[in-house]
A = this chain, B = another copy of it.
Amino acid sequence: MNTVLDAIYTRRSIRHFTDEPVNQALIDEILWAGSWAPSGLNNQPWRFAVITDRDLKDKFVPLTRYGKVIEAAACLIPVFLDRQAMYNDVKDHQAAGACIQNMLLAAHSLGLGAVWLGEILKSADQVRKLLGLPENMELMAVLALGHPARRDQKSSRKDLEELVIFRR
């Protein structure tokens, strides 16, 4: 049994959470896992915010169509890129994706549930202002995190034959 592949295949977007808070040591482990993603020139452009305060968290609810997920989550982790640390937009955005995927896999491996919220990028300025962050912090996503209330999400992927466009 390859537990890494198993985690990759069984991870799901979790949008329903119990009321249980998430231990800060687990949150830090997830951030640390994110930081071990590769980045071009090892520039590590990612920056993290951690929000567990309910009043502050509730201010995020109207910023996305997925406010109910934010209400239910015990913790939000807005992920930013620091423009001052970036060197190439496409490569740095890819690095952010690798970082976020590490965090999702880490959360899953720790028995937690998480979902990658991208639609909230339409409110990137408001997120930055709510946290009092400078303009060089470019919002990449918000992770909603908590103890999963259910794990029955189904998902599917295209067949490999559709995805492999050349082989020799």
Contacts and interface: CB of A to CB of B under 8 A. Distances in A.
Q: How many copies does the complex hold?
A: 2
Contacts of A50: 164, 166-168
Interface bracket on A: 35 or more
Nearest to A109: B4
A149 interface: no
B35 A94 contact: no
Contacts of A140: 90, 94
Contact of A4 (B106, B160, B167): B106
Interface of A: 2-5, 7-9, 11, 13, 28-29, 31-33, 35-38, 40, 42, 44, 46-53, 56, 78, 80, 88, 90-91, 93-102, 104-106, 108-110, 116, 118, 121, 131-133, 137, 140-141, 155, 157-158, 160, 163-168
